[in-house]
Amino acid sequence: MKQSPDRFRRQIAFSPVGVDGQRMLENATVAVLGLGALGSTIAERLVRCGVGKLRLVDRDWVELDNLPRQALYTLHDAEYHATKANAAAAHLSAIDPVTKLEPIVADITHRNIRSLLEGVDIVLDGTDNFEVRYLINDACVAMGIPWVHGGILGASGQAMLIEPEHTACFRCLLSDPPSTESMGTCDSVGVLGPAVGVIASWQALRAVRWLVERKDDVAAKRESMLTVFDLWMGDVRNIRLHKSANCPCCSEKQFPFLEGKHSTDAQVMCGKNAVQIQVPIDGRLNLGELAERLRREGEVVETPFLVRFTQEDKTMTVFADGRAVVHGTENPAEARKIYQRWIGG
């Protein structure tokens, strides 16, 4: 199936895009990492712009309190515990069935990020934690892939195009992850839905511009620019950044996050009163057998992609790759005990 020439006629009429730029978009492969508030909106904007292939990566499922700010999803998705990657692919396919969509239900780790980014032209950051952003930065610099960082809390956010060898990288901006105590979270500060749309659209715009400008080979002309938004007050600022000669990542080519030196098997999840447990296993769990075993011990909800098990005041959501999210605690040690009791490892 080919795109109708009329579908993008107004976009083609915009001279910086034109016919050649639209062709660049149609031939592009883009990875969207994280499909929550930012990522789901980014993915929709890219599909509507005519990007040819999207790799959609997310570890999570749709919940009711996602819906005010994650505009791609529906109440049906939340009620049926649809995984975000597959729900996003279904909705995006309804927008444009020509777009090639590759949904992947997975946590982004140092073990799989190289394969997740293999063959992509540019990466879009829809994640919500610093550890993964530093991992993305390591991988993109090591692999020479540009990426667009974005983040939001409340109605304030930021976005930045990072192009290895041409611009500052994320570690030029923040050499080390900030302490947990110094940062607000989406649970404590909140997130405003309309503000999400602005940041995500800005990220998508930066990616589209980079994709269409490849035809003119203008990479060397691009500057390192962080755009900072205070959307409640209507303030937008551009901050020019300089590539640091002492940056451990883009200058010294040290990639500790990519090498797994900062990875952990237990991660407290933002705003969920939950801990994710990631235990490498051989092969994949048989979710049907797991659901049958757990039904003797408590309440079970089973879908093709996950099993959700509830006993007393704790709920555990388990995926076929062995990953689980333990709800009702922010204590990693307690979450590990629950995982080991019911899953093993």
Q: Taking 90 as the threshold, does the pLDDT of residue 189 lie above it? A: no
- Residue corresponding to tokens 């959609």: 56
Give the residue carrying structure tokens 């005010």. 68
Quick one: pLDDT band at residue 278, thresholds 50, 70, 90? confident
pTM of the model: 0.86
**DSSP conformation letters of 167-191:** S--HHHH-SSPPPGGGS--TTTT-B
In a domain, 248, yes or no: no
Query: Among 206, 240, 274, which residue terminates a domain?
Result: 240
Integer Cα distance of 177 and 103 in angstroms: 29
**CATH code at 331?**
3.30.310.10
Chain mean pLDDT for the chain? 90
Question: Same domain, yes or no, for 194 and 55?
Answer: yes
- pLDDT digits 0-9 by tens, 285-323: 888 999 999 998 899 999 888 899 998 888 999 988 888
In a domain, residue 195? The reply is yes
Q: Are residues 217 and 322 in the same domain?
A: no
Specify whether 208 is located in the same domain as 288. Answer: no
Q: Considering the candidates 140, 169, 186, 249, report the single residue annotated as catalytic.
A: 186
How many independent structural domains does the chain possess? 2
d(CA 124, CA 30): 8
Based on the residue annotation, tell me whether 250 is a catalytic residue of this protein.
Answer: no
CB atoms within 10 A of CB 254: 16
Check whether residue 229 and residue 282 sit in a common domain. no
Residues 184 and 128 in one domain: yes
- Is the pLDDT assigned to residue 222 strictly greater than 80? no
The pLDDT value recorded for residue 131 is 87
Q: Is residue 253 part of a domain?
A: no
Q: In terms of domains, do 25 and 152 share one?
A: yes
Q: What pLDDT is stored for residue 15 in this prediction?
A: 95
Evaluate whether residue 249 is within a structural domain.
no
pLDDT of residue 217: 61
Strand partners, 102: 55
pLDDT above 60 (res 218)? no
CA-based R_g, the chain, Å: 20
Helices (H), the chain: 9-13, 18-26, 37-49, 75-79, 84-95, 113-117, 130-143, 170-173, 193-213, 287-294, 332-342
**What does DSSP assign to residue 149?**
E
220: confidence class by pLDDT, cuts 50, 70, 90: very low
Do the domain assignments include residue 58?
yes
> Does residue 193 sit in the same domain as residue 285?
no
Mean pLDDT over residues 159-182, rounded? 86
219: pLDDT strictly greater than 60? no
Do both 274 and 236 map to the same domain?
no
The region, left, alpha or beta by phi > 0 then psi within -120 to 50, assigned to residue 344 is left
Does 180 share its domain with 104? yes
- The residue range of the domain holding 311 is 266-342
The first and second tokens of residue 7, run together, are 């579908």
Say if 332 falls within a structural domain.
yes
Residue in 96, 97, 147, 87 with CA at minimum distance from that of residue 117: 147
Q: Check residues 107 and 126 and name the one with the higher pLDDT.
A: 126
Does 239 score more than 60 pLDDT? yes
How high is the pLDDT of residue 53? 98
Comparing 191 with 126, which gets the higher pLDDT?
Answer: 126
Instruction: Please write the tens of the pLDDT for every residue from 13-34.
Output: 999 999 999 999 999 999 999 9
The CATH number given to whatever domain includes residue 72 is: 3.40.50.720
Asked if residue 167 is part of any domain, the answer here is yes
Whether residues 279 and 330 share a domain: the answer is: yes
> What gap in Å lies between CA 316 and CA 328, rounded to an integer?
9
- Asked whether residue 198 carries a pLDDT value surpassing 70, the answer given is yes
Q: Which of 223, 240, 257 is the last residue of a domain?
A: 240
DSSP of 232-287, one letter per residue? TTTEEEEEE----TT-TTTTT---TTTTTTT--SEEEETTTTEEEE----SS---H
> Domain check: are 176 and 324 in the same one?
no
Residue 176 and residue 54 share a domain = yes
How would residue 282 be classed by pLDDT, with cut points 50, 70 and 90? low
CA distances from 278 to 79, 138, 285 (A): 25, 21, 13
Coil vs helix vs strand at 321: coil
In a domain, 296, yes or no: yes
